[in-house]
Amino acid sequence: MTRKEFLKVASVLGIQLSAFPTFSGHLSKAGHCNSSDQVIIIGAGAAGLSAGYLLDQQDIDFRILEATSGYGGRMKKTDNFTDFPIPLGAEWLTVNTSIFDEIVNDQAVSVNVDTIGYNQNDDYGLWENGKLLLSDLGSFNYRKFVGGTWFDFFNEYIVPPISKNIVYDSAVHAVDYAGRKVVVKTEDEEYTADKIIVTVPLKMIQNGAVDFTPPLPKSKLRAISNAVVWDGIKVFLEFSERFYPAYTDFTITPETAGQVSYFDAAYGQATNKKILGLFAVGEPAKNYTSLSNDDLKSYILEELDEIFSNQATPNYIDHIVQNWSEEPYIKGAYLNDHEDWRIVRTLFKPVADKIYFAGEAYTSGDDWGSVHTAVQAARETVDKITNRANN
Ligand SMILES: Cc1cc2nc3c(=O)[nH]c(=O)nc-3n(C[C@H](O)[C@H](O)[C@H](O)COP(=O)(O)OP(=O)(O)OC[C@H]3O[C@@H](n4cnc5c(N)ncnc54)[C@H](O)[C@@H]3O)c2cc1C
């Protein structure tokens, strides 16, 4: 950024001129520049990457500190299990495909993402009281990515312009906002910024992974401790035959406790492989997350044999497990679907006009728990930081 450009941005951000150091933009962990940033983003998942991307579009200096050695967070995927990418976290698109253009936010970019919706007459199962009730799927607005995932979308459209700003293996453990600048500490480094955006998963904050000085306001602390983050796991199994419907739900009592579904993970993909996914969140997920890998395999095969007349064990080939409750820097699935919206809104609220929150659990309270809502929260946060929001 030139000095002239900075003057423009500084007036928007309310930054004092003497506070602006030179910024080389060289951000590898070894030998990163020690200058102060305008904005530091903690976490390189959907929210952190989107916030960085939007700041970059406005030529505002920022850096992203990410605890792990890669970006994406809960959009994690693997290309190594079968012949199409497997989404280990976020899988479905639950809003209109126009969301891709909205996220890219640049009319000059033509966005091309292949997705497929379900058909009303796809087969659907409901596992209830030990019986499988089969019917048509009916109206179901979820879409699956074809030959790609949420991660791939971010990888292609959002990450390239900002990849140089991400510092990996940098878990933030302390934030000090007592002074004019915010001081952000990792094990090896100290960074300063005018404002920071915290996108660290709520369960990590609940576990005390980041120490705030001064302590966060009481209302924020109450919301943090009262919010319920669901446990969660995904398992993908390869079989030699497809003996299962496009989607099978379990009846969960009470309904608000969580969700368990088995689904045809190969639905709409260019493949002959038979891949079944398990998605479990909330209380019922604990039946799976508490088991060792071997016990989990036996448990699932037994469960599937019971539901699908002993067709699972003889057709089993392989499986992979992503236990989100054990993922070191995530420690859960996402904020429960039935959370009080006022808690969500309080989680989102900035502190001292310096500490901003955005992400899956930190939204305006209208909706949460998905990629597009994490992105929307990032957008609103960047708007607030640049003073463009109306509220
Ligand atoms: C099993 C499962 C299924 C899902 N299915 C869907 C779906 O189908 N569709 C959908 O839209 N959404 C789905 N979601 C939700 C979606 O994945 C999340 O809402 C979204 O990806 C969260 O993005 P985020 O940026 O808020 O958080 P994250 O993706 O968790 O990013 C936070 C980042 O912060 C990093 N971090 C943690 N601690 C620190 C620290 N101290 N310092 C620095 N960095 C740190 C983490 O490593 C991570 O990269 C699913 C989630 C799960 C778990």
Q: Indicate whether residue 51 lines ligand 1 (CB < 6 A).
A: no
pTM: 0.92
Give me ligand 1 centre to Cα 194, in Å: 25
Radius of gyration for the chain, computed over Cα atoms and rounded to the nearest angstrom: 22
Is 232 touching ligand 1 by the criterion CB < 6 Å? yes
> How does residue 11 score in pLDDT terms, banded at 50, 70 and 90?
very low
Give alpha helix (H) positions in 257-323: 286-289, 293-307, 312-315
Q: Which residues contact 376 (CB under 8 A, 6 or more apart)?
A: 363, 364
Nearest CA to ligand 1 atom 27: 45
> Is the CB of residue 275 below 6 angstroms from any atom belonging to ligand 1?
no
Residue carrying structure tokens 């879409």: 143
**What is the per-residue pLDDT across 187-221, written as a single tens digit (0 to 9) for each?**
999 999 999 999 999 999 999 999 999 999 999 99
Cβ atoms within 10 Å, residue 214: 10
pLDDT band at 387 (very low <50, low <70, confident <90, very high): confident
Residue with tokens 């939204």: 363
What residues form DSSP beta bridges with 167?
Answer: 65
What domains are defined for the chain?
3-71+159-228+337-385 (3.50.50.60), 73-153+230-326 (3.90.660.20)
Q: Rounded CA gap, 77 and 91, in Å?
A: 9
Strand stretches in 83-206, DSSP E: 86-87, 92-93, 115-117, 123-128, 131-136, 143-145, 166-167, 172-176, 182-186, 190-198
Residue with tokens 């005018």: 194
**Cα separations (Å) of 130 from 63, 126, 127, 133, 305?**
52, 10, 7, 10, 12
pLDDT of residue 276: 98
Q: What is the pLDDT of residues 251-306, one digit of tens each?
A: 999 999 999 999 999 999 999 999 999 999 999 999 999 999 999 999 999 999 99
C-beta 209 within 6 A of ligand 1: yes
Is the distance from the beta carbon of residue 327 to the nearest atom of ligand 1 less than 6 Å? no
